[in-house]
Chain A
């Protein structure tokens, strides 16, 4: 029986964590993810779960302890945002290269500076090449559903990689929306027990973790890690199919919203997709063939599949809630444009930076983009050379 509730994104993922009852959670407070360790601590204090919480003294220690815990054989999670994720940078790579299936709840927030606590993807996008899987959510429902699927993907023998489950700071993490929860038992059965093959505390063997490796071995280890990321594609789809069977909700690498016959498409990640969908519905009523490709899985990057879904489009706006500081656009723009080129796509492509530091995105803003895309397809570029959405002129 599905349970109808009202919850914030942080409450929703914490509810999923409670249903999973992981073994160990080291965490350090940072806005806006702080509520997650708070909710978990409360569940522990009330005897609802028996997770061991480690109140570490920094995010670097949070990820370091998570690595120790996961290597020791425990199902491990942590949560963070922004500068906290940045402080973990060094050891994110250690977690991935040691093939430790740690789950990290990332509540996306701008990196400093100026210091700002609102939604932006610069934190997890900065860690996009650290070897972690990355799954993004549009709303609380998806954040909950992704959390339930996360360990199944990360712990799969063909993958064995850590996973970031991302949602937008405040917009998703703190706003209360309707949600449909699963009952505890089907969630527990779906996620299952964690029984790793090798770990530090396996009583009948010893193992060493974290070697120094010279050039004759290092490159092969990195290639094997890259293979695990490629293997994750099939696993993500398989797990989504199984999840659909228990929830009725279907997931893939991305969601196509009225994209099938769309001539003008936006590609975006996260909470802004709700606004984009509203704009699409409005424009469709006016007869415009507009659609959205909402990215759910950014790592592994489903470039070929995205290019294929966009192949009939005349003009595409790729939306980055993250400045690349390279004078050339954002990370989604760079990677998807490359994928479109490889797929020999003929659409006009523009990369737009939007919503930095929580800057509001309106339906009107999105309508304006679609209108400009029509012009772009006709050969008239109204976007300029380096488009920013909603930037004040003074």
Chain B
């Protein structure tokens, strides 16, 4: 698809599709993700927004108030993919029967719990069937709405309420699932992994591609949660930058099966720069736990090398 030159002022000047006044926490990464993805809808284009149960849903559509300027549907926790696939199919059916003339886009949001875990089957089905829709995961790496329980997106060693650190526990024992790769293996039209960097150009560009590429698209957005990650809320942009500069969260896309690396740090920073600012990794910096950081670093390095190979970068 053709993309116009990124014009920060024009884009940020577009009408808000996520209205202010919702009840998300100050500094919430999920909200930044939603607001900016919706900015990528071209002005005047109609959309139906979907949503899995989670922080976003209970805070943005609390009866009788909705924060959505577009039509919006929440169904349950694990079925955002299937639900929006039903909406998209209804659109096709009504259009075919001449009951609808305007064009609509279909975008659904889920947290990592609703996407990596309980909603994975529903997401996989919707992607495999190739509905013309975008599934956006705002990945904050745990079940934040219910109080910071681990998910399969939680990074290794993170202290969560179901992988608490203790005398015999170093936090989450497993590494995180690479969901973007899982969805890319569905041979969908577009997969993008991004986060909040600089003037949001990467997020905008990928959102626009995801929305306007015909077929199924998936966006994985690292969306820090100040409560769950235990950092000072204003530090969110720095934390996202460190996630990318340490190669914990590489920026890449998969277009029609081709893996493309969008950013390669000149000086790959040590992982501990990303970990140090977050209370959930505090225990890793206790004397005697150096081997845990080493193991985590080795995991990040291994995945980075795999990605470089896939992207032939």
A binds B: yes
| Chain A residues packing against B (C-beta within 8 Å) | 23-24, 26, 50-52, 54-58, 60-62, 64-74, 76, 90-91, 94, 200-201, 203, 206-214, 217
Q: Is the interface of A mostly helix, strand, loop or mixed?
A: mixed
A21 to chain B: closest residue by CB = B97
The residues in B between 93 and 123 inclusive whose CB is less than 8 angstroms from any CB of A are: 93-94, 96-97, 99-102, 104, 121-122
Whether A212 lies near B62 (C-beta < 8 A) is yes
User: What are some 8 contacts across the A-B interface (CB < 8 A)?
Assistant: A57-B121, A58-B125, A62-B82, A76-B86, A94-B76, A211-B61, A211-B66, A214-B63
A201 touches B61 (CB 8 A): no
* Segment with Cβ contacts to A, from B29-37, B67-75, B158-166: B67-75
User: Chain A residues near B68 (CB, 8 Å)?
Assistant: 206, 208
Apart from A57-B125, A206-B69, A212-B57, what are 4 other A-B pairs with CB-CB below 8 Å? A210-B61, A210-B73, A211-B62, A212-B62
Chain A min CB distance to B46 (Å): 8
- Partner among B62, B90, B102 whose Cβ is within 8 Å of the Cβ of A69: B90
Q: Does B64 make an interface contact (CB < 8 A)? A: yes
How many residues belonging to B are interface residues under a CB distance threshold of 8 Å? Answer: 49
> In the complex, what distance in Å separates the CA atom of A71 from the CA atom of B88?
11
How many angstroms between the C-alpha atoms of A55 and B89 in the bound complex?
A: 11
* B89→A69 contact, CB < 8 A: yes
Known: A23-B97, A213-B62. A201 touches B48 (CB 8 A): yes
Residues of A within 8 A of B73 (CB): 68, 71-72, 200, 208-210
The 9 closest A-B pairs by CB, nearest first: A68-B86, A65-B86, A57-B125, A72-B90, A74-B90, A64-B79, A61-B82, A210-B74, A64-B82
Given A54-B86, A71-B73, does the pair A201, B94 have CB atoms closer than 8 Å? Answer: yes
In the complex with contacts A57-B121, A57-B125, A72-B86, A206-B61 CB distance below 8 A: no
Contact (Cβ within 8 A) B86 A201: no
Q: How many angstroms between the C-alpha atoms of A55 and B126 in the bound complex?
A: 10
Q: Are A56 and B125 in contact (CB under 8 A)?
A: yes
**Chain B residues with Cβ under 8 A from A201's Cβ?**
48, 71, 87, 90-91, 94, 100, 104
Asked if B58 is at the interface of the complex by the 8 Å CB criterion, the answer is: yes
Q: Contact partner of A208 among B71, B87, B101, CB < 8 A?
A: B71
Distance of A213 Cα from B63 Cα, bound (Å): 5
Question: Do B125 and A61 touch across chains, with their CB atoms under 8 A apart?
Answer: yes
- Contact in complex: A68, B74 (CB < 8 Å): no
Q: Does B83 contact A (CB under 8 A)?
A: yes
CB distance from B283 to the nearest CB of A (A): 35
How far apart are the CA atoms of A376 and B294 in the complex, in Å?
Answer: 81
Most buried by A among B76, B88, B90, B96: B90
Whether B86 pairs with A26 at a CB distance below 8 angstroms is: yes
With A61-B121, A203-B100: A24-B75 Cβ-Cβ less than 8 Å: no
Verify B76–A64 contact, CB threshold 8 A.
Answer: yes
- How far does the alpha carbon of A298 sit from the alpha carbon of B60 in the complex, in Å? 38
Q: For A72, what are the chain B residues with a Cβ–Cβ distance below 8 Å?
A: 48, 73, 86-87, 90-91, 94
User: Known contacts being A209-B74, A210-B73, is A60 close to B79, with CB within 8 Å?
Assistant: yes
B264 contacts A by Cβ under 8 Å: no
Question: A23, A26, A51, A208 — which one has the most chain B CB atoms within 10 A of its CB?
Answer: A208
Residues of the A chain whose Cβ atoms lie less than 8 Å from the Cβ of B90 = 23-24, 52, 68-70, 72-74, 76, 200-201
* Complex contacts, B63 vs chain A, CB 8 Å: 211-214, 217
| CB-based contact A58/B121 at 8 Å | yes
Give Cα A250 to B42, complex, Å.
55
Chain B 16-69 interface residues, beta-carbon cutoff 8 Å to A: 46, 48, 50, 57-58, 61-64, 66, 68-69
Given contacts A23-B90, A212-B61, whether A65 and B82 have CB atoms under 8 Å apart is yes
Residues of B within 8 A of A68 (CB): 50, 73, 75, 82-90
> Nearest chain B CB to A121's CB is how many angstroms away?
26
- Is B78 close to A, CB under 8 A? yes
Cα–Cα, bound, A24→B85 (Å): 11
| Contact among B87, B94, B122 for A60, CB-based, below 8 A | B122
Provide the bound-state CA to CA distance between A315 and B15, in Å. Answer: 71
The reply to whether A24 and B86 contact each other, CB–CB distance below 8 Å, is yes
B268 at the interface (CB under 8 A from A): no
Partner of A67, one of B75, B122, B129: B75
Distance between Cα atoms of A200 and B48 in the complex (Å): 7
Known contacts A23-B94, A212-B57; is-contact A61 B122 (Cβ 8 Å): yes
Q: How far is the CB of B176 from chain A (nearest CB, A)?
A: 24
Does chain A have a CB within 8 A of B92?
A: yes
Closest B residue by C-beta to A74: B90
B278 within 8 A of A: no
Docked complex Cα distance between A46 and B167 (Å): 67
Q: Which residue of B lies closest to A195 (CB)?
A: B99
Chain A residues whose C-beta falls within 8 Å of the C-beta of B46 in the assembled complex: 203
Q: Which residues of B contact A55 (CB under 8 A)?
A: 129
Q: Is B74 in contact with A74, judged by CB distance below 8 angstroms?
A: no
User: CB < 8 Å: which of A64, A71, A203, A211 contacts B101?
Assistant: A203
Q: Is the CB of A69 within 8 A of B121?
A: no
Q: In the complex, which residues of chain A have a beta carbon less than 8 angstroms from the beta carbon of B96?
A: 50, 52
Contact A65 B69 (CB under 8 A): no
B306 within 8 A of A: no
Residues of A within 8 A of B100 (CB): 201, 203
Which chain B residues (123-142) contact chain A, with CB distance < 8 Å? 124-126, 128-129
